[in-house]
Chains A and B, each alone.
Chain A
Amino acid sequence: GESVGLHLPTLSVQEGDNSIINCAYSNSASDYFIWYKQESGKGPQFIIDIRSNMDKRQGQRVTVLLNKTVKHLSLQIAATQPGDSAVYFCAERGPPYGGATNKLIFGTGTLLAVQP
């Protein structure tokens, strides 16, 4: 089926370090990408998004980079804190491209474990 791909790896970082979570997507027609964070027992929470006409976007302590040439997304978290421990998902807007839809195709997620 459709997928934005990564197997569920675990990224373990020390508190205060920077974290980089990577994601590969499969559909070159995708025009919009999002990162979500899911804490245990909760629904996903929006972190940051980026449109395909951009290659970088910054938020508070987070930066998303988009490389359309190799169909790769990354999420950088600065000064990682214990409260950042969660599963992080990348997602792309699904078809119809250019149409009005909230359909998202999610990756399988990365577990970020922050060590104090």
Chain B
Amino acid sequence: KAGVTQTPRYLIKTRGQQVTLSCSPISGHRSVSWYQQTPGQGLQFLFEYFSETQRNKGNFPGRFSGRQFSNSRSEMNVSTLELGDSALYLCASSWGQTNTGELFFGEGSRLTVL
């Protein structure tokens, strides 16, 4: 069974640009969550989608947005990039109907903002 797939794995952008990251969950999983990981702030929850609806949202500015498609694949977008957005962005999937906490994480997309 394929795991959570995130693309691209690495990318470099400049300040002011925007970026879109993609996540394909494990087959059958309907919930996708996104986390930002930095050395300073650790792992921080961005948002969570279930059946194409945002179910929960973290404390990030509106520049961070996401969506989920009918096939459960998800994308997140960061607009007007800032240096502080440099991070590893992790996607996690689960069955989603009830929370067990057993999220299956991808290997992440490492974003560098110059």
What is the interface of chain A, defined by CB distance below 8 A to chain B?
Answer: 1-3, 32-34, 41-46, 49, 89, 91, 93-94, 96, 100-109
Chain A residues positioned under 8 Å from B59 (CB to CB)? 1-2
A91–B106 Cα distance when bound, in Å, is 17
Chain A residues positioned under 8 Å from B103 (CB to CB)? 44, 46, 102, 104
A-B contact pairs, 10 of them (CB 8 A): A44-B43, A44-B103, A93-B101, A102-B96, A102-B99, A103-B33, A103-B58, A104-B35, A106-B43, A106-B44
| Interface contact A93-B99, CB-CB below 8 Å | yes
Chain B residues positioned under 8 Å from A33 (CB to CB)? 101
Chain A residues positioned under 8 Å from B48 (CB to CB)? 101-103
B97 contacts the other chain (CB 8 A): yes
B8 contacts the other chain (CB 8 A): no
| Interface contact B107-A45, CB-CB below 8 Å | no
What is the interface of chain B, defined by CB distance below 8 A to chain A?
Answer: 4, 31, 33, 35, 42-45, 48, 50, 55-56, 58-59, 90, 92, 94, 96-108
| Interface contact B92-A101, CB-CB below 8 Å | no
A107–B41 Cα distance when bound, in Å, is 10
A72–B107 Cα distance when bound, in Å, is 29
Would you give the shortest CB distance from A48 to chain B, in whole angstroms?
10
A45–B44 Cα distance when bound, in Å, is 16
Chain B residues positioned under 8 Å from A89 (CB to CB)? 42-43
Chain B residues positioned under 8 Å from A91 (CB to CB)? 43, 101
A33–B101 Cα distance when bound, in Å, is 8
| Interface contact B104-A103, CB-CB below 8 Å | no
Smallest CB gap from B50: residue in A: A100
Chain B residues positioned under 8 Å from A45 (CB to CB)? 105
